[in-house]
Each structure stands twice: as C-alpha cells, then as structure tokens.
Amino acid sequence: CILVDDPEHLYITDQFIVTHNTFEEKINPYMMPLYDCLDKMCGKDGSQREMVNKAVEVAPLAYMRGRTFDNAVCIFDEAQNATKTQLKLFLTRFGVNSKVIVTGDPMQSDLRGDVALVDVVRRLEGVPGVGVVYFQANSIVRHPLVAAILEKLEEEKNG
C-alpha cells in the first residue's frame, strides 16, 4: 500500500512506482539455500566470491520467458515446488553448449496433489541426452539424524 498525501483519488503513471523493495530484497529469501552453499564453498567475501558473483545470475522463473541460455549452466533448485508449466518453461530455455540441472525432493513438496517433477522425470527418463540421478537416504549430507527421520516418515506414509 502506498500512502499518497493528496486529495486526488486516482493516480495514473507510465513509470514504475517505488515501493522501497529492490529486486534482490524480494527474491533473496528464496535464494538463501544457494547463497548458503556459495558461502560454504568460497566464503562471503574475497576475490573468489567476487569472481563467483560476477559469473552467477540469479533470476526468478517468471523472468525466463523469451530467454535462451547459451554457454551456461542453469540450475533449477527445489523443483518439487514447481508446476508442470514452470518446469516446461525452464527446460526449454537452454541453448548451445549448455547444461540444465533440475533438483528436487518430491517428498518435500509444498504443493497439494501430484508433484509435477515426478511426472516430468517419468516422461523424460530414457530420452537420449537426459540423465536422471536418484539419491537415497544415505546420500544425505546433513545431520545423520535427517536420514533416519525421512526413513521413518516414509514408512508411515507407505504403511
């Protein structure tokens, strides 16, 4: 809500209205897992981090329309929370000499109903040029207790 101290009731502009939130401030909460990994790999400051910051572009999925990524590595993290349309949008953006990586854990989806990632993997598995990697509980690099928790919760779901 923007407070305007004026007796007029309708305001029309062909300019953007400043709401005091930058593009980064709006998407940073969603990018924290990526930034956490970058912090671990190359620190928060220093020449190595500056080099990574220059090479990495972070963009919301909504800004992918019409783009093609040549000579790039594109990562879609937390894809279990994407719709089929969003996954299709992302998967059709890569161009010449590029790699696309889609990660997600269907058990951790925030969406109701079927997880689109599961359907997309099922349909694309076996397509030449598409590789699918399945991780198991012993692949978890978090606290060892996380694997035990997931195992017990999966038992409950299937039992």
135 or 19, which is more confident: 135
Average pLDDT over residues 45-67: 85
CA atoms within 13 A on the CB side of 127: 8
Q: What three-state secondary structure class fits 144? A: helix
> How do residues 86-113 score in pLDDT, each as one tens digit?
999 999 998 999 999 998 888 888 888 8
Quick one: what percent of the chain has pLDDT higher than 70? Answer: 82
Query: Which segments of the chain does DSSP mark as H helices, in order?
Result: 23-42, 47-55, 84-91, 116-124, 144-158
Residue 137, phi then psi, degrees to nearest 5: -55, -35
**What whole-number distance in Å separates Cα of residue 115 and Cα of residue 143?**
26
Query: Average model confidence (pLDDT) for the chain?
Result: 81
Check pLDDT > 80 for residue 132. yes
95 close to 69: Cβ distance less than 8 angstroms: yes
62 or 78, which is more confident: 78
In one-letter notation, the amino acid at residue 15 is Q
Q: Which residues pair with 110 in a beta bridge?
A: none
CA atoms within 13 A on the CB side of 114: 8
List, in order, residues 6 or more apart from 19 with CB less than 8 Å away. Answer: 2
